[in-house]
Amino acid sequence: MASSNSSAITSTIWDYIFIGGGLAASVVSSRLSQLDSSLKILVIEAGPNANNESNIVWPNSTNLIGGDFDWKDSTVSQRHLNGRNVSLATGKALGGGTVINGGGWVRGHKFDYDLWGSLVSDKRWAYHGQLPFMQKSERHWNKTSNLEQHGLAGPVPIQSVTSTKREFPLRKHTLEAWKELGFREVPFLDGNAGNPLGIAELQEGRNGGRRIISAAVYSLESVTVLENTLVEKVLIENPAAENKGLKAVGVRLADGTEVHGQEIILAAGAIRSPQILLLSGIGPSAGLAEFNIPVLLDQPDVGQNLADHSILFNAWKVKDPGAGWALGSPNPLFSQPQYSWGYPFDFLVNGDVPKEGLAEAIAADEGVVPNPDTHPLLSHSRTFVEYIFMSVGAPDGSLVTFGAAPMLNTARGSIKLASANSREAVKTQIKFAGSNATIIGREILNGEAGAPGFDEVLSVDSTDDYIDARIRAGLGTCQHPMGSLSMGKVVDVDLRVKGVDNLRVVDASVIPVVITGHIQAAVYALAEQAAGIIYADRCNSAR
């Protein structure tokens, strides 16, 4: 990384200024510098450089969620979750979420991307439009199967349970159990080939277990990085006297310093990118007026459409902990180093839901009976629930853990300002369990170990009311926020903020639909494509 001398930073007119140094900024700034090494590129990151921090490298690291590199956000009180505030983990370091995430490499369903492309009327954002960029980002472990779906030479190494030789003792039993429940094995057990419905092997963005931080695997050698620096807002000119539109010309840091550039790229994530736009005077006029922020552009969609995946974990008792089924047991298998190289489960299982009950729930939410041929939740088989069965749950190996993650929560949340102070957290509303179409699978509930505050264990005989109560008491987040600056509403298909010249957004906030995957894979592809779009615009404007 280039030197970040403060006087040089303020005296330079930068070609590109990135607000936020997370996953997307790492990718786009790196690719732009490779395309043209003469470009003056500045990345401003609120957190430190964590690339060489040994205490975050491995899956069992202790400095991840809630640690030094986490913003430690939480939601406002959630009415549908018994008034609980839900913790939200977002990366505060160079590399953003890749510094603290679980590493799961899960693209989601082809239909999600096709819906995205259809919604914005641009095939570049449909699955086959994004596939080349999915491939460009990854270095896949399997060099013999599904080669038309995977990249073999990208910066992000992908590993699987079998590639790391860490199959768990319950692997055969869980595979057969899932099949008995009606799930199929996806071809090659590869859930990253367009249709993940069924049983797929866990894939992770890791290298022999080691965490992959975007800012480490994408070279920032020719990029200037300003660490531990908070941006307050985008500087926007409003030359109304010249009969011109709004134009971004730089950023103001939280300490009042101003830095100027030709193009500003907001890449602070689905929670902070909306905050910065709002503080810059772009957003719903009523919300801005509440904090005496001058309204430059009344844009009611800023901060809306926030989506995330939720998850509910339950512990299950192991009849004989000494049999060696789970981590913590005396099984010598678990002393082999590869069993600490990734998360302790073999499979991700993706399931659809019965359409009849879903149609009734949608009708209750939307007030009209949905058309099953055209409604996006009914017209196609999709991943509604992701299931995991983990060989861990207690230090002595007496428990295993089952997780069910609703991937298509239909209620949408929002990001709103709490004040005009950039150092103060926003009001984040996620609305989990806020609609009738929020689904938790009930097919494999039996032998559960119970939960704090509940006398009854879950079983196939549990009532709907009891299951709903357990969900509201225990439902959490997968830490996959997206959609709060949606493409088609806030930004156009080239990621430009509508109504403001020289300002783009490149992060998960622009994703206009729910991606039923672990979104780092989607954001890597988004950023790879964004780099090409931004550079092409530069070349075209120079002609």
Q: Alpha helix locations (H) across 219-342?
A: 269-279, 285-289
Query: Binding residue per annotation — 76?
Result: no
Strand partners, 405: 386
* Cβ-contact 238, 229 below 8 angstroms: no
Cβ–Cβ under 8 Å, residues 163 and 341: no
Q: Two tokens at 326?
A: 């789970």
- Determine whether 518 is an active site residue: yes
- The gap from C-alpha 397 to its chain's centroid, in whole angstroms, comes to 31
Whole-number Cα distances in Å, 179 to 170, 173, 213, 486: 14, 10, 36, 38
Nearest to 110 by CA among 194, 227, 43, 197: 194
Match 């030789």 to its residue by tokens. Answer: 165
The whole-angstrom separation of Cα 422 and Cα 269 is: 15
Widest distance between CA atoms in the chain: 79
Q: Angle between the 520-541 and 127-137 helix axes, to the nearest 10 degrees?
A: 100
- Scanning 3-120, the segments in alpha helix (DSSP H) are 6-11, 23-35, 110-120
109, 150, 309, 518: which is the annotated catalytic residue? 518
> How far apart, in Å, are the Cα atoms of 273 and each of 24, 265, 268, 449, 521?
12, 10, 5, 41, 19
Give me the catalytic one of 80, 150, 309, 480.
Answer: 480
The one-character DSSP state at 131 is H
Angle at 76 between CA 72 and CA 80, to 5 degrees: 125
Residue type, position 185, single letter: E
- AA identity, residue 120: V
Counting beta carbons within 10 angstroms of the beta carbon of residue 69, is it exposed (0 to 12), middle (13 to 18) or buried (19 or more)? Answer: buried
Work out the angle between the directed axes of helices 520-541 and 23-35 (0-180°, nearest 10).
40
> Any alpha helices (H) in 80-142, and if so which ranges?
110-120, 127-137
Amino acid type, 414 = S
Whether 480 is a known active-site residue: answer yes
320: helix, coil or strand?
coil
Residue (of 243, 306, 214, 247) closest to 513 by Cα position: 306
Query: Which strand (E) or helix (H) includes residue 520?
Result: helix 520-541
408 contacts: CB under 8 Å, gap ≥ 6: 377, 382, 383, 384, 437, 439, 514, 516
Tell me the binding residues for FAD. Answer: 231
Q: Which residues are catalytic?
A: 480, 518
Output the known binding site.
231
